[in-house]
């Protein structure tokens, strides 16, 4: 009987100690965001029959389990994917938007206006050399700004490509980690070990993947943990990883821009099949969407603008005559014998060959760069005071030269700026919203799995008391033993 007391006391003592250790572990990880609090579950020992009585045999530890809700975890992953998509898109679009922001600075709209007004000034004084210089300078500014915008957009696009490539490393690393943890968890569980901490680590890695794309996770019939990239295929299945790769797909289509090679994402095992467009939510699809939709749209609009400006200005300018004196016969008829060089049909901008990349290639014509007198203001030869061509060019400002002849240059530009502003504004609102949802999802998860110090403190006191009591049980057993032994003396 006495030995029973000893063994019950011992089981209680060790259970209390173990519980205190778990509580300490919880307290130690109170600030670890990825930690799920652990709980010791106990059961009473198998009762022993002693004659007519059945007596309890103390306490046993059944398990140490982490507190975890799979549904809350899935919700959290989902809101991470959603939020990261909006956040990344806002980041990228804010960069793009800044290129077109001319609220506190100079921009294309103002510069284009100055260009046309320079021609208006030239119409006042077509014979004035200084005004011609001003016209050329203003035209040069237009060209520069087209190049600035084009380069800035290209830089954003290249930034996106770099970011895509770098993300792949992160993703593969997390995938490898999940595969490794899968193997470890199965090994430990087979050996009857506790896997709460490893599972926490695996969840953390999965959350990291959720930042890049929407994931589906499940355990298959063999108990293997599988991570699927939504809408495409499996990334991790048990201990196997289907690695991703980023790279340029060369010449996939005839489109001029595509042959430059933009970065696409595919499985290492299937390099000919890009999955970039299939990705849903997360950073990756935000990057792909911004690059393939928003930036392409802007480049198209910009090219259209540059093309329309160069074409229409040239068409009018070619009709004019350069500011050069031609010889005349006795009747006052002009003899164009070529002695004065080319005097009419001169282009102002280099004539664009195609709409594609017009903004990149726009440039002043060599004739205009070389000789200010080639800026043609007159509709007739030998008429230095004739301003009709200069006026006609200045009127192009309000002429519908874009699209099917239904949009002015300014309208075209403002349409593009307006669209990018609207998209950015909407994404910002979406981001604020998903940030709220994410915070909520995080807090739901933390309420379930997070450590509460108050709770742990209470537990600590509780276990301490039970430890003390268990020690007392052993002491009582000892005293009982002593008194029995004392009887022998």
Partner 1 sequence: MTRVSEQSSFHAINHAVGKTKSRLEDLQLKGSNLKRVQKPSDDPIGNTELLSIRSQDIDNEQFGRNISFAKAQLAFTENAVEELTNILSKAKELAIGQASNFYDADIRKSVAKEVEQLKKQMISIGNRRMGNKYIFAGHKNLTKPFDENGKFLGDDKTTNIEVSKDFFVPISFSGQEVFFPDGETKMADREPKLPPAPKINGEEVEEPKFEVNRTLASEDQITTEKAQRNIIQHIQALEDALNTNNPEIIQGLLPVIDKDMDKLVQIRTTIGSTINSIDNAFENIEKTKLLNAEYKSKIEDADVAELFTDLTRQQSTLEATYKASAQLMNKSLMDFLR
Which residues from 394-423 bind partner 1, rule CB under 8 A?
Answer: 394-401, 404-405, 410, 414-415, 417-422
Among 91, 102, 194, 356, binds partner 1 (CB under 8 A): 102
Alpha-carbon dihedral angle through residues 143, 149, 153, 158, given to the nearest 10 degrees: 60
- Closer of 60 and 457 to partner 1 (Cβ): 457
Q: Which residues, in sequence order, are CB contacts of 185 under 8 Å at separation 6+?
A: 195, 198, 199, 202, 225
- Closer of 11 and 323 to partner 1 (Cβ): 323
> Does the footprint of partner 1 cover residue 95 (CB under 8 A)?
no
Q: Taking contact as CB under 8 A, which single stretch among the options 1-9, 176-184, 269-277, 435-443 is the one that binds partner 1?
A: 435-443
Among 7, 42, 109, 231, binds partner 1 (CB under 8 A): 109
CB atoms within 10 A of CB 53: 8
Residues 360-389 touching partner 1, rule: CB under 8 A, are: 378-380, 382-388
CA–CA dist 479, 202 (Å, integer): 51
- Closer of 240 and 439 to partner 1 (Cβ): 439
Q: Taking contact as CB under 8 A, which single stretch among the options 15-23, 98-106, 136-144, 171-179 is the one that binds partner 1?
A: 98-106
Residues 453-482 touching partner 1, rule: CB under 8 A, are: 453-454, 457-458, 461
306: nearest Cα among 472, 123, 93, 148 = 148
User: Are the CB atoms for 39 and 64 separated by under 8 Å?
Assistant: yes
DSSP string, 260-297: G--EEEEETT-TTS--GGG--SHHHHHHHHIIIIIIHH
- Closer of 225 and 413 to partner 1 (Cβ): 413
Residues 18-57 touching partner 1, rule: CB under 8 A, are: 30-31, 33, 37
- Closer of 226 and 383 to partner 1 (Cβ): 383
Binding-residue total with partner 1 (CB under 8 A): 82
Binding flags for partner 1, 119-138, as an x/- string (CB under 8 A): -xx-xxx-xx----------
Least Å distance, CB 101 to partner 1, is 5
> How do 48-50 and 53-55 pair as beta strands?
antiparallel
> Does the footprint of partner 1 cover residue 148 (CB under 8 A)?
no
149: nearest Cα among 26, 305, 36 = 305
What tokens appear for 235 in the block? 């990334």
Give the CA angle between residues 461, 467, 470 to the nearest 5°. Answer: 145
Q: How many residues does the chain have?
A: 489
- Closer of 114 and 280 to partner 1 (Cβ): 114
- Closer of 182 and 387 to partner 1 (Cβ): 387
Q: Taking contact as CB under 8 A, which single stretch among the options 11-19, 282-290, 364-372, 436-444 is the one that binds partner 1?
A: 436-444
Q: Taking contact as CB under 8 A, which single stretch among the options 149-157, 257-265, 315-323, 469-477 is the one that binds partner 1?
A: 315-323
- Closer of 128 and 259 to partner 1 (Cβ): 128
**DSSP element (H, E) containing 64:** strand 59-66
DSSP state of 51: T
Among 40, 76, 84, 100, binds partner 1 (CB under 8 A): 100
> Does the footprint of partner 1 cover residue 97 (CB under 8 A)?
yes
Least Å distance, CB 39 to partner 1, is 13
- Closer of 435 and 471 to partner 1 (Cβ): 435
Ranges assigned E (strand) in 120-262: 215-219, 225-229, 233-237, 240-241, 244-248
Least Å distance, CB 418 to partner 1, is 4
**DSSP element (H, E) containing 65:** strand 59-66
Least Å distance, CB 271 to partner 1, is 38
Least Å distance, CB 479 to partner 1, is 31
- Closer of 278 and 397 to partner 1 (Cβ): 397
By three-state DSSP, how is residue 401 classified? strand
By three-state DSSP, how is residue 61 classified? strand
CA–CA dist 346, 320 (Å, integer): 8
User: Are the CB atoms for 280 and 213 separated by under 8 Å?
Assistant: yes
Among 61, 448, 473, 474, binds partner 1 (CB under 8 A): 448
> Does the footprint of partner 1 cover residue 60 (CB under 8 A)?
no
- Closer of 259 and 443 to partner 1 (Cβ): 443
CA–CA dist 399, 393 (Å, integer): 10
């Amino acid at each position: 009987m006495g030995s029973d007391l000893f063994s019950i006391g011992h089981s209680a003592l060790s259970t209390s100690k173990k519980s205190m250790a778990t509580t300490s572990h919880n307290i130690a990880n109170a600030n670890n965001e990825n930690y799920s609090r652990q709980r010791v579950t106990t059961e009473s020992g198998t009762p022993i029959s002693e004659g007519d009585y059945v007596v309890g045999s103390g306490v046993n530890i059944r398990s140490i389990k982490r507190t975890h809700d799979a549904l809350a975890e899935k919700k959290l992953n989902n809101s991470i994917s959603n939020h990261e998509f909006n956040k990344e898109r806002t980041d990228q679009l804010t960069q793009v938007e800044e290129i077109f922001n001319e609220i506190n600075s100079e921009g294309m709209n103002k510069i284009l206006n100055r260009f046309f007004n320079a021609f208006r000034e030239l119409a006042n004084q077509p014979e004035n050399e200084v005004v011609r210089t001003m016209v050329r300078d203003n035209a040069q500014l237009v060209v520069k700004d087209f190049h600035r915008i084009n380069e800035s957009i290209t830089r954003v696009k290249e930034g996106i490509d770099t970011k895509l490539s770098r993300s792949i490393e992160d993703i593969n690393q997390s995938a490898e980690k999940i595969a490794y943890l899968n193997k470890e968890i199965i090994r430990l569980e087979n050996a009857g070990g506790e896997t709460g901490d490893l599972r926490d680590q695996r969840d953390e890695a999965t959350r990291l993947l959720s930042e890049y794309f929407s994931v589906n996770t499940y355990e298959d019939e063999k108990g293997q943990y599988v991570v699927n990239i939504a809408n495409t295929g499996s990334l991790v299945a048990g201990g196997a990883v289907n690695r991703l790769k980023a790279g340029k797909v060369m010449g996939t289509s005839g489109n001029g821009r595509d042959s430059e090679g933009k970065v696409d994402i595919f499985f290492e095992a299937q390099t000919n099949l890009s999955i970039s467009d299939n990705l849903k939510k997360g950073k990756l699809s935000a990057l792909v969407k911004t690059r393939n939709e928003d930036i392409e749209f802007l480049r198209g609009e910009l090219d259209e603008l540059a093309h329309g400006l160069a074409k229409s200005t040239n068409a009018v300018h070619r009709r004019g005559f350069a500011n050069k004196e031609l010889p005349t016969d006795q009747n006052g008829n002009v003899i164009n014998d070529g002695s004065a060089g080319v005097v009419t049909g001169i282009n102002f901008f280099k004539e664009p060959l195609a709409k594609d990349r017009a903004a990149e290639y726009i440039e002043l014509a060599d004739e205009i760069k070389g000789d200010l007198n080639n800026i043609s203001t007159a509709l007739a030869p030998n008429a230095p005071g004739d301003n009709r061509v200069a006026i006609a060019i200045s009127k192009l400002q309000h002429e519908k030269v874009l699209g099917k002849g239904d949009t002015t240059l300014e309208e075209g530009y403002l349409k593009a700026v307006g669209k990018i502003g609207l998209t950015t504004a909407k994404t910002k609102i979406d981001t604020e919203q998903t940030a709220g949802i994410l915070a909520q999802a995080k807090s739901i998860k933390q309420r379930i799995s997070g450590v509460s110090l108050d709770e742990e403190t209470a537990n600590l006191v509780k276990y301490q008391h039970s430890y003390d009591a268990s020690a007392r049980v052993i002491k009582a057993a000892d005293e009982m033993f002593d008194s029995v032994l004392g009887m022998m003396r």
